[in-house]
Each structure stands twice: as C-alpha cells, then as structure tokens.
Amino acid sequence: MTAQKQTQPQYNNKLLRLNKYLALQLGISRREADNLIDQKKVAINNVTATLGARFSENDKITVDSKQINKSVDYQYIALNKPVGYVCSRKRQGDNPTIYDLLPEKYHHLKPVGRLDRNSSGIILMTNDGDFAYQMTHPSFHKTKIYNVRLENSLAPLHQQMISDQGITLDDGTSKLLLERMSETDRKSWIITMHEGRNRQIRRTFGALGYTVNKLHRTNFGNYALGDIKPGEFEFVKI
C-alpha cells in the first residue's frame, strides 16, 4: 500500500514564521520550536507542519493536538529577588517562590537563569525563548556582576588563585574577576563573571574554605538592578 502524501499549505514571505510564533507562545527558543516541528508535534489546520513553514493569522495552530493562543505579546521584566525566595513555580518546603511577588497576569513569564534561595538581586523574566537562550547560553558570554560578602577575609593568595588560575570544581575550572569594595576590607567584593553554573560563586569560595554570607546580583548583561526595590519589578526593553 502506498501512503497518501499530505500537502503542506503554501506560504509566502508576507505570512508569519511558524517557529518564531511557537517560540513566542510557548516561551521557548526557535531551536526548540524547530525540534517540535521536526518531531511532527505541530500542525497547521490539522496538517502536520514542516520545518520552515509559514501561516496566516486565520490558521489554527496546534501542538500535540492542543490549540495555542494567538494573543500573547513579548514581555520582559526585571525583578529584584529578595533572599528566601526560590526561582520555581512550586514552593520548596515553606519557601515562597518569585511568582508570589508577581501579579497573576505575569505568572506565564519564565525566569532567565536562576538565583538560589539565599541569594538576591536581579532576575530577568520573559516569554521570549530566544531572548532567554541568548542571555543564558555560554556562547554569548553575558557579563554578570555580584556584590559578595564573605564570613572571613579573603587571603591575597586565594584572590590571585581565583582570578588568575581559577579553582577546579567538579564541573570544570571556575575563574572570577574580583574587585575589593574597600581598601580596608577583604570580606566584601565585587565579582564579575561570564558563566552561570549552578552555585558557582559559592562553590568556588567553598573549595578554599570560605563561606559566602551574602550574594547579591546587580547586573545581568546590559541590564542593571538600579533603584528597583526588593520584591518589586519593572518592565525593561531589549
């Protein structure tokens, strides 16, 4: 038996790109959207979509047979996360989540990267998967700046090791750029980094026997916390 060939609708350059639309609606990257299309999970008017497909505003788009909304716009906010909040949708024990700080109409936004429960500072949130990918993938080398307070003074030798040689961790070498906040204080530091591995700063200092008492992120890429108060947020432009 010869399988009947389905005809993919024809699209022109004036119509909408399917992968871009899926990225917006689902809060994923275009690469992830292409994967959904390649896995034959996406349909246009009940016809399985192909890579590079385009569609009109009147077409019905489904993912895993579920129709998706067409009314969402890109949104970007910067939140000043306080200590004690977790970057997830579900509470971890008694710890509240960052979504407890947001009006319900913004609960569809996803955090761009994370800060652990004991850390504070700027968290970007969006429904733009491409933006999230460009901000977090190591190949884009986005600068992050933190204010860090150690329990004990950092020895000059350890400062040099962290900045010059790097510290070997289970997931690779960690190098951080360290700047003292004060010439008379070796506990408080401004740290600049271009990576974003899980708890990297805490683990780096921990490998040398230091405890991080405070970790506050002030900058993420081109975005700065500015005067956003703890627990509050502002819309940002890209």
Candidate list 59, 73, 116, 185, residue with the active-site label:
116
Dump the DSSP string for the chain: -PPPPPPPPP--TTSEEHHHHHHHHHT--HHHHHHHHHTT-EEETTEE--TT-EE-TTS-EEETTEE--S-----EEEEEEPTT-BSSSS-BTTB-BGGGGS-GGGTT-EEES---TT-EEEEEEES-HHHHHHHHSGGG---EEEEEEESSPPPHHHHHIIIII-EEETTEEE--EEEEEETTEEEEEEEEES---TTHHHHHHHTTT--EEEEEEEEETTEE-TTPPTT-EEE---
- 116 included as an active-site residue: yes
Catalytic residues: 116
